[in-house]
């Protein structure tokens, strides 16, 4: 009699632990799908398009921002420190690309 009760309790514990894991995995999968969607907020949309500047593959440097001033500052600093050159605003703007823009 005690064996049967112990067996039933053991099965109940195992069943509840497996059910809990399955539920947690299902819940986690749904959260991952929501997290994968990246939507632009109203504030980001009002700031303008996302711009990038990249060096060649050997250097690997890339900066991405909505602020043109920020990009100019960061790229100018990178060019001076790493490449030992003074980049003008016109040169940097020529390298700038808008993300999501067609033909650029």
Q: What is the pLDDT of residues 8-39, one digit of tens each?
A: 999 998 888 877 777 766 766 655 555 555 56
Name, in order, each residue with C-beta under 8 angstroms of 93's C-beta and a sequence gap of 6 or more: 68, 72
Whether 14 maps to a domain, the answer reads yes
pLDDT at 99 over 50: yes
Domain that holds residue 3: 1-36
Structural domain contains residue 54 = yes
Please report whether residue 86 resides in a domain: yes
Neighbours of 87 (CB within 10 A): 18
What's the predicted TM-score (pTM) here?
Answer: 0.54
Judge whether 32 lies within some domain. Answer: yes
In a domain, 104, yes or no: no
């Amino acid at each position: 009699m005690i064996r049967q009760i112990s067996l039933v309790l053991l099965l109940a514990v195992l069943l509840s632990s497996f059910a809990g894991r399955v539920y947690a995995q299902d819940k986690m999968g749904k959260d991952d799908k929501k997290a994968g969607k990246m939507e632009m907020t109203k504030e980001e949309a009002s700031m303008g398009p996302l711009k990038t500047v990249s060096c060649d593959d050997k250097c690997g440097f890339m900066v991405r921002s909505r602020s043109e001033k920020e990009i100019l500052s960061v790229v100018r600093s990178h060019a001076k420190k790493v490449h030992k050159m003074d980049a003008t605003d016109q040169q940097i703007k020529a390298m700038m690309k808008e993300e999501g823009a067609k033909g650029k």
